A and B are shown apart, each in its own frame.
Chain A
Amino acid sequence: MKLRSILRVLSLLAFLSACVAGYLYYSSLKEYAFQEAERNALNRLQTTKKNLTAFFSENIKPIRVLAAMQPLVDVLDKPEPKTLNAANAILDLFKKTLDVEVCYLMDLRGKTLASSNRNDPDSFVGMNFSFRPYFQDAMQGLPASYLALGTTSRKRGAYYSYPVYRKNSDTPLGIAVIKASIFFVEKELTPEETSIQLVVDPQGMIFISSRSEWLYQLMWQLKPDDIKQLRKTRQFGNGPWHWTGLRKNGNKEVLDASGKPYLFHQIAVDDYPGWKIVHLYDLKAASKLVSEPLLKIIQPVIIILCLLLGASIFFLYRQASLEIARRRTMEQALRRSEKRYRALYHHTPAMLHSIDKNGNLVSVSNYWSDALGYTRKEVIGKKLTDYLSPVSRKYAEETIIPAFFKKGFIKDIPYQFVKKNKAVIEVQLSAITDRDEQRQTFRSLAVSIDVTERNKAERALQEAKEALSSYSKDLESQVRKRTREISGILQYTPAVVYIKDADGKYTMVNSKFEELFGIRTSDVRGKTDQDFLAPDIADQFFKNDDRVLREKQSIQVQENITIDDDAHTYLSTKFPLYDGKGRVTGVCGIATDITALKKAQERLRRLSASIMTNQEKERAYLARELHDELGQVLTALRMEAVWIRNRVIKSDPTASARALTMCELIDTTIEEVRRLAIRLRPGVLDHLGLVEAIEWYTADFEKRYDISCVFEHNDGPEIRGNIATAAYRISQEALTNVARHASATRAKVTMSFDNGNLSLSIKDNGTGFEPEALGDAEGLGVANMRERANLVRGFFDVQSRPGGGTRICFTVALTES
């Protein structure tokens, strides 16, 4: 919070200093502008003065020339029309050439005799201007110049007069006057908008002004006497002359009637004593002139500055807020950790205590106080050693505590604490010193572990060990006995037994093994198969044993062992051996010689094959005999019978009827013979091949049993011979089973050829059965099919489950046939 207010104040100060800097810059600019204005004003005044002086001196010489003109003298001498005309002509000439307002001639009394404006409505002729100072001065022989408002023409002008003398005479006859218009001078005054230029007479009467409404007004307020005096001179007409309202304000400044300030400068006009040129500089306009462009520049600068300032303040403020938040989080974390530490200290399920330098307890954990039966209040401030047994106290005071403060830690010190109820508990105490920032020990942190139970347990363990030792001796003798028994079994069993370790090295073989391979146990130990067995046997053993080790499962395999051209087949059971942790440590093999059994089996298989083949041959022969021989004879008989019947149908109807009966009898017999033949072996199988035979059989099956039977097959080679027989018989057997047992409504025979294999499957939607629970009769059918498959080295499989139909598969490689 504090940090935030500091930030706010700082930002305010930054803003203020920016403002002050701006203001100072502005005023210095203004100051400079004023100085510039002043210099300008003085320059202008000088220029105006130069102009005025030039203007005023313009007609000084011409008036002398005019006054010296003879016709003027003449007309003053003899005022008659002739001379007058000549004088007028001169006057006109001068007026024209000098480009002045008017030129005129006055006599000694001040009356105008001739004038260039004699024909104008405001003609001076006949007018008396003797009151004018320029007249009086000229009459005294002084050339004069005079600024005044014309009494007749009501126009301002600069009057130049000069006396007109007769030749060689000092007394003027009259005067010549040139009046030049002020108008053009005034026009040239026009200063810049911010200033006003005035030409004033010594009284402050404004005679020339760049501000026309101020003409003939008084610059300063005059006293009534002075005004009266002014009126008397008639220099500026008859008035009234209002006061402009200007007032002086200090040396260089004036205020107008509305209080608007002007910078005031004045300069005297040469040749016109008391007359001044005044320059008024409008301060407000001036400052506006300065401030406007300045503002134009400053405003965006200020805005940008403000934005930057604002942005930086916002950024800093945000940074600060984050910092504050972070600190607060840290503080909270610190507080929490402290709290946790305290809670941990008190609630740790261990006896914790801390002592100060003097060995007095400063804190104990709940567990400590619970363990000893004291409340915390009772023990804090007391000596730790008060709660130790006398032996431990002595040990602690003399050895442990000094050592602890010296070393900074102690570990597993056996102490005995005395509980409040005087019971003694044994502990192991470990402690470290808890140092402050100056690394001065000020308290300890000690953990005491109650080892009472442990010590008890240790003693009990010792006893148990002894008991175990005697038990294990007993066990050893038992083991020895068992070993003897097992050794006996191993020695006299007709099986070959061996044990290998996980690396395939023999650790034990029995006497039969020794006998078979002609090697002694002691020589075999530590050797691998390859070390002492013929390569084919070694490979076989190694492969099978390795499989057991890898799969960690027992297997049963046939192994062929040929020694000295004497081939034997063994049925070997191999299983992994485990250690106590369930790791496989080796493999044990028990091989039984089944050569005799195998031979018997093979003989049986051959016998059965030969029986089947012969049976098949016999059937084929019988079928052919029946169908082709007997059938043909019957057919021939039938032809004869038909012939007889047709022959006597008219002559002897009875004989014909008999012949017909015979014919029918023969038909029935032919049918019977055919059925018999087909049942033995369908001719289609031999004549047309397997596909047609099964096609015929399935169609016939469907007809006979009313079970929908679909036969699907893809194109393949024509199958004949043993494989065709096997496939046909298997289909026949399978479908017969379907008809007899399955209660199916549909059966499907699929035959496909791919990769040189013939696959046959017979599927039904019948009741199915548990494959394990095949009855004898059904079992015989399956066995028959299996036998047929075996005969051609085919693969045979029955898949079935109750309610899920049955599927019989037969696959055989076609390459051999």
Chain B
Amino acid sequence: MIRVLLADDHSIVRAGLRRIVEESGDIEVVAEASDGREAVLAVRKETPDVAVIDISMPILDGLEVITQLKSEFPEVPILVLTMHEEHQYVVRAIETGAMGYITKQSAPEQLVKAIRKVHSGSLFLTDEAAEALALRVAKGNNAQSPLDSLSTRELQVLRRLALGNTNREIASAYHISIKTVDTYRFRLLKKLNLRNNADLSRFAIQNHLIET
């Protein structure tokens, strides 16, 4: 059984989550916390296998809890479960030390999977979150990066092109038109002074936008 801590200031949500988790059969909620401090205390007391932490919590917010747990119990994997969809949260949570990130909205579908994944020692991220993280890592690599001159959308399209996605795939991924993707592609080539998709791939690899 995977022993889990649920930390969320909303009792209704917590109840919902507990039900989802417990229905899985192999996961057991050993502690619940309704604020950050409680969460830290609970981990100290129970040492769960996985800590599921919300970001918006009173007293200590989720990010502070992660920081504290990381220093006290580096071996306890933390899964962030939050209302926030913005990538900035994902990046910050992973940077702080979380092993996984899912939204509450997707909890019924993904929570169990995510708990198992982080328990097994892997990262759990949605595709979008993974992409956001990759872009941030690439940009943060060096102070003066040629990537600085690119917008977020341009970076996204560049990464997808480098990964070999077709214009159609990219268009459907970002809910934009194929023509717009092409416009982005053209703009990228011009901005980075490159000639074709092969050049773009090489550029992306050089700048650690994608793993080889």
Contact = CB atoms under 8 A, between A and B. Distances in A.
Given A639-B17, A639-B20, A708-B153, A632 B86 contact: no
Contacts of B107: 635, 639
Contact of B85 (A674, A706, A711): A674
Contact of B86 (A643, A696, A714): A696
B44 interface: no
B144 to A, nearest CB: 10
Given A703-B153, A710-B151, A632 B83 contact: yes
A683 interface: yes
Contacts of A253: none
A643 B89 contact: no
A698 B180 CA distance: 18
A635 B150 contact: no
Contacts of A682: 86
Interface stretch (B7-15, B70-78, B160-168): B7-15
B10 A627 contact: no
A333 B106 CA distance: 112
A437 B37 CA distance: 126
Contacts of A674: 83, 85
Interface stretch (A469-477, A509-517, A687-695, A801-809): A687-695
| Contact-residue bracket for chain B | 35 or more
Contact of A696 (B88, B143, B174, B187): B88
Contacts of A642: 108-109
A695 B10 CA distance: 29
A714 B142 CA distance: 11
B120 to A, nearest CB: 24
A532 B85 CA distance: 70
B206 interface: no
Contact of B104 (A635, A643, A687): A635
B13 A632 contact: yes
A709 interface: yes
B88 A688 contact: yes
Contact of B83 (A628, A709, A714): A628
Specify the main secondary structure of chain B where it touches its partner.
Answer: helix
B153 A687 contact: no
B83 A636 contact: no
B113 interface: no
Contact of A698 (B61, B148, B152): B152
Contact of B16 (A640, A687, A696): A640
Contact of B55 (A636, A640, A667, A687): A687
A672 interface: no
A290 B63 CA distance: 130
B197 interface: no
Contacts of A638: 105, 108
A309 interface: no
Contacts of B20: 639, 643
Contact of A688 (B19, B89, B105): B89
Nearest to B176: A706
A633 interface: yes
Contacts of A714: 143
A271 interface: no
A699 B56 contact: no
B88 A692 contact: yes
A350 B34 CA distance: 117
Interface of B: 10, 12-13, 15-17, 19-20, 55-56, 61, 63, 83-89, 92, 104-105, 107-109, 143, 148-154, 174, 176, 180, 187
Interface of A: 627-628, 631-633, 635-636, 638-640, 642-643, 646, 667, 670, 674, 682-684, 687-688, 692-693, 695-696, 698-699, 702-703, 706, 708-712, 714-715
Given A693-B88, A696-B86, 12 more contacts: A633-B10, A635-B16, A635-B105, A636-B16, A638-B108, A639-B20, A643-B108, A674-B83, A684-B88, A687-B84, A699-B153, A702-B151
